[in-house]
A and B are shown apart, each in its own frame.
Chain A
Amino acid sequence: MATVTTTAPDTRTFAGTAWSWITTVDHKRIAVLYLVTALGFFALGGIEALLMRLQLARPDTDLVSAERFTELFTMHGTTMVFLALMPLSAAFFNLLVPLMIGARDVAFPRLNALSYWIYLFGGIFMNISFLAGGAPNAGWFGYAPLTATQFEATHAIDFWALGLQILGVSSILASINFIVTIINMRAPGMTLNRMPMFVWMSLITAFLIIFAFPAITIGLVLLLFDRYLSTSFFLPAGGGDPVLWQHLFWVFGHPEVYILILPAMGIVSDILPTAARKPLFGYPVVAYSGAAIALVGFGVWTHHMFTVGLGPIADTAFAISTMAIAVPTGVKIFNWMATLYGGSISIKTPLLFAVGMVAMFIIGGLSGVMLGSPPIDAQVQDTYFVVAHLHYVLFGGTVLGLFGGIYYWFPKFTGRLMHEGWGKVHWALMLIGFNLTFLPQHLLGIDGMPRRVHTYPADQGFELWNLLSTIGSFAIAASLLIFAVNALVSIRRGQPSGNDPWDGGTLEWTIPSPPPVYNFAQIPVVDGRYPAWDAKRGGGHTGAVAAATAHGDEDEDEPDIHMPNPSYWPIVLAAGMVIMACGLIFHQVFILLGAVLFGVSLLGWIEEPAA
């Protein structure tokens, strides 16, 4: 047995356990923190959605006031994008990237913890607004000049802008961490083109974040200047231009869509081969088409602005680039289908979610092509058609893909399988509920119902579709309850899974479930894309993985594995940052307080003995 040196807190007491989580720098525990927090925010965003759906179930309803409704849709969008889906992807990066590339942790473990704590505090900060005089209410893309002090004198918008700024720091730090990890810490023999597809998509996503977030960061800085220092970057009265905000936002906002979808595509690209017992078809094409989507994704942002009046030349150019993205996207889908083709497909929950993702994402892609045509867009832009489209991409695509990932890797991290029957019920109910919710919204948009309306009159032909949509949303909620119960019960009483319940091909399936702190007793040597398969099936590629799995655990000569020490500086530093933000809202003294905390923890961080 390899010995592990790390100054771990005593986990026999409750306080000790809590302290061990607060100070953890283990990527797997940070992943669990991300996962639990993100699912919590997912539930919150879901409740906001249900309230909106209740309000819209019937015409002329008074359940939610017009003002409250604006907060609900703003916070629903903001929460789902920044506090639920991105962090869920981050949970998967944390869980999987080190395991898949044969590393013992990420490159910067403390930075990893810092990303998490900033995210948690940023999310709480933003939601405190509900209790502190009103939540953000200008929509999740906060179009100027509605965000100006003149139109929103309370701190609602400041909570939003500062909150997003804080979350951006978290995302950028995490991305730097994962880029360095993936580039530098791959096991010997794991060339870029042998990485699991999820790692490829994580790498591309991290680069997307690094390049996309600066645009919104600048936008938010200018917005905060407008609000706090009376500049007028976005205010025409002072020579500014509200359209500038739209450019800055969507230069970030469109790549953001790929930030949200690529990790799910990576998950699907790893589930399908396992389920079909066949390697991913067209591996380089799938990887490079992901990169192509990401690259072209920076050149399509004004398709969100076809009704702004940018002129026919701009509209034409961006229509073409937008439609062009459909090609690499289609290619990905064909390759997934070819992966399944000729396979021996085990139809279990992960596969069902993965296939559901493919099937629903196709619909979102097709409605995306419709929206890419400016004359069509001019009719359905800012209507429920867009709401339907974006949910087919982000729910049908991202959420289904992520749930597939949860079912697939659950046994790796708990040592137990989730209940298969209830998993299938969850899948079926979620898919039915999802389509019932969002298919009718296409029709609402085509029939002229704008988005972001808190009510509608009875004589518009909107009643039936809205009612169906509300019923569907509750079916989704029911399916999520089933999932939650299934997950909680399975953690304790699920069927023991062994190390490799699905006959997986990638490295994480070669180590125990749950993995030991150090992941790999001996760093594996890789000479193919599916080292675990090679080891199990023998033949062409055997090599060191087989050796590692066979006798790694009892290898007497294994040198001591030194894991990084826990640290409390990440949480303190994150707290300092968010307390400073509070200073811009509650009282200036917090700025000082936060800055001191920030400075002290920075010094502490630097002085901390190297792990």
Chain B
Amino acid sequence: MRAALAATTLLLALTALAACGATPQTTLEPTTEAARQARDLMVFVFWAAAVVFVIVESALVYILIRFRRRPGDGLPAQTHGHTALEIAWTIPPTILIGVIAALTIPVIFANAQPAGADAMRVRAIGHQWWFEFDYPELGVVTANELHLPVDRSVELQLESDDVLHSFWVPRLRGKLDMVPGRVNRFTIRPEVTGTFQGQCAEFCGTAHALMKFTVVVETQAEFDAWAAAQLAERTPPSSELARAGEEAMAAGGCVACHAIRGTDAAGVLGPDLTHVASRAHIASGILANTPDNMRRWLQDPQGVKPGNLMTIPELTDDQLDALTAYMQGLT
């Protein structure tokens, strides 16, 4: 009992402390209306719960101390119940629950509002273990890095190619599952530019922990420039090494799984690599996109991300150098 109280005090102190550290996936620093509403509800219910907690637990401790057995205690008064009391103490919890429900319900419906006709539509498709993002209106297809213009509603159409996944960017919105055979829709209206971290939240197999993505919110002009660049075919290799890399794509079997527009590579099992160098991360958010990391990935994808579906024959050092150079050129 006392331990619980001490632990609670500790908890509150530590929460304050934690707020200072970097928590890129925190739900407490929302940047959209929807995430703010969830945060506000959470904070309200937390404090309501904290009040209940303090009252009930201190009453419990008080009773234990006040009525502990003392030497010479006789038989205490044998009370059996009290109807008025029973009725009375259903009232406060009922009222509290009523208030929480009354605050909750409008948010549920607000969150379910369909996006307006002017909203941009993006398909987000979960794959074991990476995210595909398609912009049907723009013709852009990319992976693991979702670009959105600021101050414009986006209707995300969530789908899955295999098992359940869940789309979650805590600072933008609560999660919604990607269910094979269904299409879930929700709207995000980013208000702040910047990069936001997201992660698959539904267990989806071995590499579930390593299935992440980022959302880049940028100005409309930046977004338009990005989209135009993504639409272009791949940048042709500019060095001898990179050219060798493009040739190694076929030898290495990469073309079976990856698409690179402007080449023969048209696989769909893995992410579209046409502009892989434009992305800040590879392997769905777990590695910074540096030449070293790229080489590491190509050398041993199973070591970097156990269980993932990129299985390739072992590549020679020459092939690795060439492919790395080629990938780095796909801006």
Which residues of chain A have a CB within 8 Å of any CB of chain B? 65-67, 70, 138-139, 143, 145-146, 151, 236-237, 240-243, 276-279, 281-285, 307-309, 311-312, 315-316, 319-320, 323-324, 326-327, 330-331, 333-335, 337-338, 340-347, 355-356, 358-360, 362-363, 366-367, 369-370, 373-383, 428, 431-432, 435-436, 439-440, 442-443, 446-457, 459-461, 464-465, 537
Contacts and interface: CB of A to CB of B under 8 A. Distances in A.
B241 to A, nearest CB: 31
B22 A461 contact: yes
A341 to B, nearest CB: 5
Given A243-B182, A347-B68, A446-B28, A337 B59 contact: yes
Contacts of A359: 1, 4, 57, 60
Interface in B206-228: 206-210
B11 to A, nearest CB: 5
Interface stretch (B170-178, B248-256, B311-319): B170-178
B303 to A, nearest CB: 11
B4 A431 contact: yes
B86 interface: yes
B289 interface: no
Interface of B: 1, 3-4, 7-8, 10-11, 14-15, 18, 21-28, 35, 37-39, 41-42, 45-46, 49, 52-53, 56-57, 59-60, 63-64, 67-70, 73-82, 85-86, 89-90, 93-94, 97, 100-101, 104-105, 107-109, 111-112, 128, 158, 162-164, 166, 168, 170, 173-177, 179-182, 184, 197, 199-210, 286, 306-307
B26 A362 contact: no
A593 to B, nearest CB: 35
A461 B78 contact: no
Q: Chain A's interface: helix, strand, loop or mixed, by majority?
A: helix
Given A282-B81, A366-B53, A374 B104 contact: yes
A327 B90 CA distance: 6
Closest 4 CB pairs of A and B: A378-B174, A448-B25, A236-B181, A453-B209
A278 B166 contact: no
B3 A278 contact: no
A145 B106 CA distance: 33
B306 to A, nearest CB: 4
Contact of B203 (A284, A373, A452): A452
Q: Chain B's interface: helix, strand, loop or mixed, by majority?
A: mixed
B176 A435 contact: no
Given A66-B307, A343-B76, A359-B57, A307 B68 contact: no
Contact of A362 (B28, B57, B104): B57
Contacts of B67: 276, 340-345
A375 B41 contact: yes
A464 B74 CA distance: 51
A241 B28 CA distance: 34
A356 to B, nearest CB: 7
A456 B176 contact: no
A442 B208 CA distance: 21
B11 A439 contact: yes
Contact of A379 (B14, B42, B97, B206): B42
Q: Report which residue of B56, B94, B182 has the largest number of chain A beta carbons within 10 angstroms of its beta carbon.
A: B56
7 contacts: A241-B181, A242-B179, A279-B78, A285-B86, A344-B76, A439-B10, A449-B25
Contacts of A382: 166, 168, 175, 201-203
Given A146-B205, A282-B81, A382-B202, A308 B170 contact: no
Contacts of A342: 67, 76-77, 79
